[in-house]
Every structure is written in structure tokens, then in C-alpha cells.
Structure 1
Amino acid sequence: MTSTTPGTLARRLRLRDAVVIGLGSMVGAGVFAAFAPAAAVAGSGLLVALVVAGVIAFCNATSSAQLAAQYPTSGGAYVSGRARLGPWAGFAAGWGFVIGKTASSAAMAITVAAYVAPAPWQKPVAIAAVLALTLVNTLGITRTAFLTRVLVAVALVALTVVVVIGLTHTGPTVDAPGTAPTPSGVLQAAGFLFFAFAGYARIATLGEEVIDPVRTIPRAITTALGIALVVYALVAIATLHALGPGGTAASDAPLRSVVATAGQPWAGVVVQVGAAAAALGALLAMIAGIGRTSLAMARNRDLPGWFAAVHPRTAVPARAEVTLGLVVCVLVAVTDLRGAIGFSSFGVLLYYFVANLAALTQERTDRRYPRLLAVGGAIGCVVLVAALPVPSIVGGVVVTVVGLAYRGVRIALASRTRA
């Protein structure tokens, strides 16, 4: 099915494609590294933290799903927040998503290169990865879905190897004492783990390209989240069995440490390739999601209108995606964002907070889930923001204020021009 209206995207994604894109966004490099910092603060409470993160993610997912069904267009919570809560709330969600995920894209590109290239070549390899994935995205959403399917398959094979080895082997650290679990530690660990689930928003941002969106988007979001939760639970159980809480916390690459317990060099290579594929899949989906949110914001002049162009042949926001790819390449070249993107976490939680508030305002006929889930999602977002490190909160607030000031200045200049 192709687009028939100039300036709109084509509905080409079926249920399977949408599920795969959601999985590609969630099963990113985070699952290969997130368990170490989570275990460091939660200790043996790691599985409890995973459940907490999963519950909050489910609440947010249900809000995103029913909003995307009512507003099946590009932009996700930016569009639904703008429609339900007003333009300022929508802008806050969209701005947090675009700016935060752009920084995350640079960090993910650097992560890809760290897995596959020696140190002197990492930045050139990261830039090459961004350019290649940007090109794939500009060729059309079906190309994006196909490559995502391949990358997800490779990542899942690697995680299967981790689970099998982790459940059948133990390492010397399995009895090492870990951090004693505390409520605050479990909550902070849930914050680390939550962001491994956050990719289901990418399905909502692609709402304009999904066939039969009212039916497909809710099913795709909940299906992708359910699969990811099962995968993460199996990986967490296998990791704790093989390494123990203390060993998991002490490892720089816990899943690599898990397969090392088998003493088979090939297993380490599988994990390395799987981690690189997962990071590439997440980066591919992020470029697509940011491009669509930028398109939606440009349509309302919350970003320059130049970004609202849709390519007449491939039916993608090519200008937005190419510009994003170039910006990410510059960020990769001039800085290392792996340790400096705390405001990205803030932006993601702001995005979902707006989505939950918007879901609370939906009429009964448009709601697919109890309002209690939206309340739980909104509270969960606030709690996880409070659990973030102070520099992350400060950075997030600063970036949000800058965005709101930009919108205020733009509106003032437009009003003066009209006058």
C-alpha cells in the first residue's frame, strides 16, 4: 500500500513488521550491559527491579498503544499530547524525545564501534555505521523493517547462547557477596532497566506507516513488550545463576562473563557479534523514530518547516533523517557521549509522562485499558525521574527549558511578523 496524498507517509508496515521494529528498539546494547549497574545497586533484588521496570513499562505501553490507535500518525506522544493536553505539553514530549534520542544515537553508534573495531578506528567505524543506517532509512520503511528483522535475529541468537550457558554453568564469582537489596537500591536499578524497555515508543512514532493502525499498533506494542520482558527475565536469571549478584555487578560486560564460564572462545565471539547487531538495530530504529517525530513537529512549525518534506518515491521524511544522520556523525566525531547523556533518560520519562496524562483525558470509547494503568505509568515516570542522579535531572531540566524558550521565541517572532 502506498501513499496517495503528497506530504504523507505510506502505510506499508504489517503487524509482524511493527513488532520487529519494536523489538529492534528494545533489544539493544542495553541488555548486554544494563544488568551490571542494576546489580551493583540492587544486589539480589535484581529480579525484583526487573519486575518493577516491566510493570512501569507496561503501564506506559498501554497508554502509548491506545493513544496511537486514536492518533495513527507520525509523532507518537508529541501528536497525542498536543491534541489532548495542548501544544506546550506536546512540544515538551517531542523536544525531549528528539534531543535525548539524538544524543542516544551518537552513544549507540560509539557502542557499536566499541564492539567491532580497535580503539583508533572506533570513531570512523561509528560514523560509517550512522551513514549506512541513515541510507537504509531513506530507502523506505520496508527496508528499515527488513534490516531490523535480520539484526534482531542475530541478537536473539546471541542471547539464546547466553541463557543456555548461564543456566548450565557457574563461574568463580557465583558466591561473591553482592549489595544487600534495599528499596531505594531496587528502585534505582529499576530505573536502569526501564530504559531497556522504552523502544515500544518507536512503534507509536511510526503510526502513519502502519496498515490498519487501530488494530495493529496496540497489538504490536504489547506483543513486542511481552517478548522483550520474557527475554530479559531469562537473561537475568541465567546471569545471576552463572555469576551471582556480586559477580554480575563487578563485570564490565556481564553477558560476556556468563559465556566465559563455558570456556569456549566461540561463545564470546557470538556475544560480541550479537551485541553489535543489537546496538545497530536500536540505532536504526532510533533514526526512524526521531525522523518521524521531527516530521510531526515540523508540520506544526515546532521545528523548521523544511523538515516536513516527504520524499515522493520512498515516502519517508528524508530531509529530517539525513539531517539527523549528519548531526549524529558530528556528535560522534567531536565528543564521547557514552557517559554524558543522562538528560536523555530524563527526556524519555518526560515523553511517557505526557503520554500517560494524555491517555487519562481520553473518552471511554477510545480507552482500551483501565485508567489506573495510565495513573500508574505517570507516577512511575515521576518516581524514576526522582531516582536519577542529580546531574541527569539538572541536565534534563536545562534541555527542556531551552526547548520551551525556543518555542516561546519562535511564537513571539511569528506574532510580530503577522502584526
Structure 2
Amino acid sequence: MSSTTPSDTPHGAPALARRLTLRGAVAIGLASMIGAGVFAAFGPAAAVAGEWLLLGLALAAFVAFANAGSTGQLAARYPESGGAYRYGRVRLGEWPGFLAGWGFVVGKTASCAAMAMTAADYLVPAEWERPVAIAAVVVIAGINLLGITRTARAATVIVAVVLAVLAIVIAAGAVDVARQGSAFDSADAAAALPPVTPYGVLQSAGLLFFAFAGYARVATLGEEVVDPARTIPKAISLSLAAVVTLYAVIGVVLLGALGVASLAAADAPLDDVVLLAGWGWAIPVVQAGAALAALGALLALVAGIGRTSLAMARDRELPAALSSVSRRARVPWVAEVAVAAAIIVLVLVVDLRGAIGFSSFGVLVYYLVANLSAATQPAAERRIPRWLSIAGAIGCLVLVVTLPWPSVVGGVAVFAVGAGIRLLVLARRRRLAA
């Protein structure tokens, strides 16, 4: 069996093909993380962390580092589709795996609808947002249906353009600081903002964590990665290191150019930075970059949901039809189409941009399962120390307390629905078997 053309599965269905190289995997990882959140998350984070914003970023980066290490270690051992769903099922049991997969598929499908609407909001007037969001979903689904290499190429182009836009913002901030001096003034911030508390710093860590929590997307594509034991951990590490560095630079620039109080009050802080530098011409560029970043995250996320749905369908946790793989493009085409259709329905029915907190809850459960799974691996399979996986699990639990209570309630409700459905299906299968 070659590295790029795997044999069919034992059931006769075609398997996915190992065509994703390190470069493509890194591009998908970067596209997953550099979403629209970087254009908006620093303001709310500064509002709760004040002058300790960078400490919040460091805490978020540590939790992300632990999660990424656990995910890379597991992906090297289990290079299959599904990510934490597969790892949890193998290492912890069917129920933890199911809950990780269910939370990811349901929560992230809602997130995709929000991303599509967010991108459209940056690009067109309100009355055109839904048609443009639907068109974006159709185009992205079409790219993914052409094969994983097309997804990687599109991600590469998107990431390159978004990085260029962020470079403009960083340059504008540097010019403004060089001309007027740093606006970071902790005394002014203390007067303008409520007193900073440890809980506020944790809240900022949570906000910033969710702004770049897509580093494990490559693991959901594990069945399509060339030399997965080497490529997946390396791709996760490279993409996470690049994004943490980028966010640190942007955080310093925003604090230096705007100051804590102005950053905390800003709805679009990156726009404010280019305006302060006198680069008004760059405002449309920054807005287009935010839209493109949202579409890049959407591209990678739709692919990840499709592969997780494929893995769950193979185990009869989702309808078996979702396990269909096209023989030509070697993609889970039924799952991809179903995901795109679900996103379009959500876009048509409800605007989820302000109501997807349950997705954040699901993300933390997803990574909690990944960390606990990694902690059970024997020493021969370890790439990181066990304590780091345990620390990642604790970090996920700590970040849960930073979520607004409606997000926790919504998350628990989504998992309860999934568990109820699974219990009914299992009971029906037992009756038929009897």
C-alpha cells in the first residue's frame, strides 16, 4: 500500500488518501487558528485583564501548548480521521469518545454558521449578509469536495493574504509608537478600568484561547496526512508556535499604540491602530482581511467536521451514509455535503454570532478528552511528559469557569441531547438483537 493511495476499508468502502504534506498541514493549522477572533478578541480581553493582558495571553498559550502536545502525541499513535473522538473512544471508552465527537460536530457546525455570517458582515450591507454567507459556504464546500490538497492550497492562499494584512497593522502600530511614544500607561488604565482580579485574568485567557484554538484541526485529518507520525506533531507545533508569536506581537502593538483603556473600549482595535497611524486607506484592507480570516477558519473547520462525522459514522455513532467516500477525490463527500447543508439551514434560520457559547463549552470538553486520553498512553508512546497532559486537562476545567453561565447551560444541554439520542439508539439495537 502506497503512502498516497491507501487500500479500501475492510467493508469495501474507499479509504481517504494520504496526500496532505507538512506544508499543507501547517497551512490548514494556521488557517484554523488565525480566524476573525484575532481582529476582535483583544478588546474584550483587555477589558477584564487590564494591564495584565499579556499574562492572560501567556496562560492561554500554555493551555494551548499542553493541548497541542497531547493531540500531537495521540495523532502520531492513531493517525486516523476523527481527532479526539477517535482518541477518546480508543483510550477511554465509547462514551467519552462519543461526547467529544458530538460536542465537536454540533458545536462547530453552529460556529461555522457564525463564521459565515461574520465574514459576510465585514464584506456587505446587512441585507446581503445571508445570501453572501450562503454563497461562501457553497464555495468552501466545493473546494473541500475537490480533495484535501485543494483545501490545503486554498488555506495557503488565505493565510498568506491574512498575514500580509496583519503585517500592515503591526507596521502601522510601530509607526505610531515611534512617532508618539507608547500609550501603555498602567496608572491611566487603573483609573479607567475596574480593578483587575485573578478571575479577570483567567477570563482574558479564555477569550484569547478561543481565538486560536484550532491547532488540533490537522489531527482530525490524520487519515490523509503523509507520514503522520512525523508530520502531524510537527505541523501542530509549527502552526501553534507561529500563531502564539504573532498574537504576542499584536498584543504588544495594540497596548503600545492604543493603551489599555482605549483597547478595552475598542470594538475594532486593529482598525483603530491603522487610523492612529494616519493610514485610513488600510481600513477596508483590514476589514477584508478579517472576512478572509473567518473564511479560512471556516474552510478548515468544515473539513474537520466532515472527517469527524466520517469517523463517527464508521462506528455507527452517526448515520452510516455519512461514511461514504468518493473514489476519485477520496473525501467523505456525503458528510461534507450534509455539514454544508446544515450550516446553510442555520444561516437561513438564525443568526448565531452572539449565541454560540455552547460551542466554547464543547471545545473544552473536546480537549479535556484529548488530554485525558494522552495521559493514559504508555511511556513508549510518549512525546511529552504525562504531567503536561494532566496540566492541559486541568487548564480546560479552569477555563470552563470563565465561560458565561448561559454557555455552560447551553453546553450541558447539547451534551444531554446527544447522550439521550445515543441511549435510545443503543436500546433499540439491543431490542433488535434480542
Q: Could you tell me which of 118, 134, 140 is aligned with 1:127? A: 134
Partner of 2:326: 311
| Alignment check: 8 A CA contact 2:7 2:14 kept | no
Per the normalisation by structure 2, the TM-score is 0.95
- Taking the aligned partners of 2:64 and 2:398, their CA distance within structure 1 comes to 13
User: Is contact 1:54-1:197 (8 Å) kept?
Assistant: no
- Contact 2:172–2:279, Cα closer than 8 Å, also in 1: no
Q: Which amino acid aligns with 2:410?
A: G
Could you tell me how far 1:21 is from its partner in structure 2? Answer: 0.3
- 1:129-159 Cα distance to aligned partner (Å, 9 max, x none): 0111011101100110000000001110011
Do 1:18 and 1:217's aligned partners in 2 also have CA atoms closer than 8 Å?
Answer: yes
Q: In the alignment, does 2:349 pair up with 1:346?
A: no
**Aligned-pair identity (%):** 59
Shift of 1:264: 1.9
SS in 1 for 2:401: helix
Quote the residue 1:157 is aligned against. 164
Q: Which residue does the alignment assign to 1:2?
A: 5
CA distance in 2, matches of 1:7, 1:391: 42
Which letter maps to 1:181? V
- CA deviations on 1:16-62 (whole Å, 9 max, x unpaired) are 11111000000000100010111111111110000000000000000
What SS is found at the alignment partner of 1:408? helix
Query: Which stretch of the first structure deviates more once superposed, 193-202 or 60-69?
Result: 193-202
Deviation digits for residues 376-419 of structure 1 (CA, Å, limit 9, x no counterpart): 10000000001111110110011011111111111111111111
The aligned residue for residue 66 of structure 1 is: 73
2:340 matched to 1:337?
no
1:234 equivalenced with 2:249 (yes/no):
yes
Superposition pairs for residues 8-407 of structure 1, below 5 Å?
Answer: 8-169=15-176, 177=189, 178-179=192-193, 180-407=195-422
What is the DSSP-based 3-state SS (H/G/I as helix, E as strand, rest coil) of the residue aligned with 1:198?
coil
Q: Secondary structure at the match of 2:17?
A: coil
**Take 2:229 and 2:326, find their aligned partners in 1: how far apart are those partners?**
25
Cα displacement (A) at 1:168: 2.2
Change (3 A) 1:303 1:125: same
| Cα separation, 1, equivalents of 2:422 and 2:321 | 16
| Alpha-carbon contact 1:7-1:308 (below 8 Å) kept | no
Q: Which runs of 4+ in 1 moved over 3 A?
A: 170-176
Shift of residue 173, structure 1, vs aligned partner: 7.6
Contact 2:173/2:256 (8 A) holds in 1: yes
Three-state SS of the structure 1 residue aligned to 2:214 is helix
- Residues 72, 208 of structure 1: 8 Å contact kept: yes
Alpha carbons 2:46, 2:263 under 8 Å: kept: yes
Cα offset for 1:2? 2.7
CA distance in 2, matches of 1:7, 1:416: 32
Cα distance in 2, alignment partners of residues 385 and 238 from structure 1: 29
CA contact (8 A) 2:35 2:212 kept: no
Gaps of 5+ in 2: none
Q: Distance in 1 between matches of 2:105 and 2:70?
A: 20
Matches of 1:377 and 1:264 in 2, distance apart? Answer: 41
- Total equivalences in the alignment: 419
Counterparts of 1:112 and 1:197 in 2: how far apart (Å)? 17
- Deviation string 1:109-147 (CA, Å, 9 cap, x unpaired) is 000001111111011101100111011101100110000
Q: Report the 3-state secondary structure (helix = DSSP H, G, I; strand = E; otherwise coil) of the residue aligned with 2:215.
A: helix
Which amino acid in the other structure matches residue 332 of structure 1? V
Contact 1:173–1:246 under 8 Å retained in 2: no
Partner of 1:337: helix, strand, or coil?
coil
How many angstroms does 1:174 deviate by? Answer: 6.0
- Describe the SS at the equivalent of 1:56: helix
User: What CA distance in whole angstroms lies between the structure 1 residues aligned with 2:421 and 2:377?
Assistant: 29
Give yes or no for contact 1:173–1:247 (8 Å, CA) kept in 2.
Answer: no
Give how far 1:85 is off.
0.3
C-alpha RMSD over aligned residues:
1.3
Which moved further from structure 2: 192-201 or 393-402? 192-201
Q: State how far apart, in whole Å, the 1-side matches of 2:211 and 2:6 are.
A: 33
**How far does residue 276 in structure 1 lie from its aligned partner after superposition?**
1.2
The separation in 1 between residues aligned to 2:71 and 2:432, in whole angstroms, is: 37
Secondary structure class of the residue paired with 1:314: coil
The alpha carbon displacement at 1:167 in A equals 2.1
Structure 2 Cα separation of the partners of residues 377 and 74 of structure 1 = 22
Conserved in 1, the CA contact under 8 Å of 2:183 and 2:256?
Answer: no
CA distance in 2 between counterparts of 1:7 and 1:237 reads 49
State the SS of the aligned residue for 2:112.
helix
